[in-house]
Amino acid sequence: MMRKPKENLPGMVQTHFDIVVAPGYVLLELASLVEVLRLANRVCPSPPFTFTYRSLKGGPVASSSDATVQTERIPSHPKADYLFVVGNTDPDHPDLSLGRVVSDYTFRDAQVFLLAEAASRYIDERGTADMATHWENASFLRERGARFEAKLSIATEQGSVVTCAGMGATTDVALAIIGRHISGPAKMTVADIMLHENIRDFSSMQPFSGAQLTATGDAKLDQCIKLMQANIEDPLPIQQIVEALHLSNRSLERKFKTFFGTTPNGFYREMRLAKANNLLLNTTISVREIGLACGFPNGFSSVYKSFFGVTPFVLRREKRAASHR
């Protein structure tokens, strides 16, 4: 069973993070996590967090940009509250095959966060449905004939294992985690110092701007996504989209199935639900108005619950209760 979130107050035991880096690790991901922890320690009355850099062999490990950190070996009996595994640019790297390490940590009640390539490797070797990785690595999994299509949210949480997109989204994930242990104002202060204006929840979709040409290499698919993004409040019928793109319905469906593992309607609906979820979490707009703003004039609560497993009203109530703790 996963440890219950706890708020660290003066005199309480600190929450510890083990941070595993592989050779050629992505410095941005490591810095995004460590800076959030460092700033939280700075703004809180008593430092709530500690961390240790670790690797399979111990010793100095260099990033892809030649920044080096001194690491300790991964323990056989870990005691950390959280394990973060920072990926590199090679999902095939042997140091990312960490299924046994993940099991050691989760067995001892820790929650494990796998970033980008580390997430891709875990999905490829041991994954189940609904696990996330960076959109660039989703192509890697398709080429490998993975049993499951990777999600394109910034993170997905399945009990003790959380798979993440990594890169800049690591900051959002780290802020979410410290929010379990420090006050809301302290968490927002950390975000403000980092000039991180909007904290995305795990279900937020990875930005597609800039991703389409590289991820799909298909100009028509790129145009389709842009049309969808520009018409969230009043969704365009798929028939109207295919006519604008001079495609057949079957051709568009094949493109979405190839690159995203879903249908055009399914992709469009998930995009609108992702925006709705952000509005629910980050604004005081009424549930009805959010539904209208995201193209759900009727049945918004039912559609939302079918996707996220909870109604928007319950989500709002839980958020309000958490902010008053």
**Most confident of the ranges 33-37, 117-121, 205-209:** 33-37
The pTM of this model reads 0.62
Range 15-193 has CATH code 3.40.50.880: yes
| 281's tokens | 């979490």
- Enumerate the β-bridge partners of residue 164: 115, 155
Q: Using the 8-state DSSP alphabet, how is residue 25 labeled?
A: B
Q: How far apart are CA 260 and CA 270, in angstroms?
A: 12
Inform me whether the pLDDT recorded for 99 exceeds 80.
Answer: yes
What is the Cα–Cα distance from 114 to 86, expressed in whole angstroms?
Answer: 7
Backbone φ, ψ for residue 316 (5° rounding): -60, -45
Tens digit of pLDDT for each residue in 117-144? Answer: 888 888 878 767 678 888 877 766 665 6
277-305 pLDDT, tens digit per residue, is 778 876 788 999 999 999 999 999 999 99
pLDDT band at 211 (very low <50, low <70, confident <90, very high): very low
| Consecutive H or E run containing 175 | helix 169-178
Three-state SS at 67: coil
Q: Which amino acid is at 8?
A: N
Rounded CA separation 258/261 (Å): 6
Extract the tokens encoding 206. 């990875």
* CATH T-level assignment (fold) for domain 214-325: Arc Repressor Mutant, subunit A (1.10.10)
Q: Does pLDDT of 1 surpass 60?
A: no
- Per-residue pLDDT averaged across 254-275, rounded? 85
* pLDDT at residue number 219: 82
pLDDT per position as a tens digit, 219-260: 888 889 889 988 999 999 999 999 999 999 999 999 888 877
Helix (H) or strand (E) holding 54: strand 49-55
Cβ atoms of residues 116 and 87 within 8 Å = yes
Pairing of strands 68-73, 59-62: antiparallel
Which pLDDT value is given to residue 215?
Answer: 38
Q: Which of 167, 165, 163, 127 is nearest to 145 (CA)?
A: 127
Task: Give the residue, 42 or 128, on which the prediction is more confident.
Answer: 42
Structural tokens at position 193: 């110092």
Give the pLDDT mean for 162-168: 92
Residue with tokens 């609904």: 130
CA separation for the pair 140, 117 (Å, rounded): 10
Residue 321 CA: distances (Å) to CA of 29, 184, 275, 281: 31, 12, 22, 13
| Domain boundaries defined on the chain | 15-193, 214-325
Q: What is the pLDDT of residue 143?
A: 58
Whole-number pLDDT of residue 94: 87
Q: Would 15-193 and 214-325 be classified into the same CATH topology?
A: no
